[in-house]
Structure formats: C-alpha cells, structure tokens
Amino acid sequence: DTAVSQTPKYLVTQMGNDKSIKCEQNLGHDTMYWYKQDSKKFLKIMFSYNNKELIINETVPNRFSPKSPDKAHLNLHINSLELGDSAVYFCASSPRTGYEQYFGPGTRLTVT
C-alpha cells in the first residue's frame, strides 16, 4: 500500500549521460512535486504540477525536464548529467496545492 513510490532507489551514472527518475502516487492527490536534497540535507523544491499542469518551476537548469503523463505520475528527466547533480531527489504529492505534502523514499543519484 505504498503511497508515493519512486524508481530507481539508487542511480549511479557517468557525466554526460541522460537519466530519468519515475514517481507514482496512489493517494488520489492533485499536486505533485520534485525536490532536491543536497549533501547538507537542505531540501529545495524544483518543480510542481497540479493536474498535469506545471505550476512551480524554480531556477533549475534546462537540463532538468519534468513530465506528468497523468495526475498520478510525475517523472524527471535529466540530460547531460554533471557532478553537481549528485543528490537525493524526492517526489512528493499533496491533496491540493498549498496543503501538506507526502514524500516518496527518494532516489540517490551519483554522477561520477
């Protein structure tokens, strides 16, 4: 009965590669988010979608592109990976925008 799930859990790749992280929620929520948690554990929002519509797009390199095929899924595609992209990426969802958010288990991305 997983609420917010992400795949993969770990991702190790080389600089310059393209990778994707997938997220799914079975809570029936309308809004989904992507966060980045750096090595100092600071959590910062990257994107947010409400019913497949992009509503938050923080200052993130164009190499990062979110896609929401339906309101239960939000994927993150990263092109031309750089060393600085190494972090833990969390997906989250909320019943409506502005309400409490529920987080997935995270994807630890390591770029070598």
Residues at the contact surface with other proteins, assessed by CB under 8 A:
4, 31, 33, 40-45, 48, 50, 55-56, 58, 90, 92, 94, 97-106
Min CB(38)–other proteins separation in Å: 10
Min CB(73)–other proteins separation in Å: 17
Nearer residue to other proteins within complex by CB, 15 or 53: 53
Q: Please return the burial class of 98, using the count of CB atoms within 10 Å of its CB with bins 0-12, 13-18 and 19+.
A: exposed
Nearer residue to other proteins within complex by CB, 105 or 110: 105
Nearer residue to other proteins within complex by CB, 58 or 82: 58
Nearer residue to other proteins within complex by CB, 60 or 105: 105
Which residues are CB-neighbours of 96 under 8 A, at least 6 positions away? 29, 30, 31, 50
Tokens of 16: 């310059």
Min CB(80)–other proteins separation in Å: 27
Strand order across the beta sheet in which 19-25 lies? 4-7, 19-25, 73-78, 64-70
Question: In Å, what is the CA distance from 67 to each residue of 38, 39, 41?
Answer: 22, 26, 25
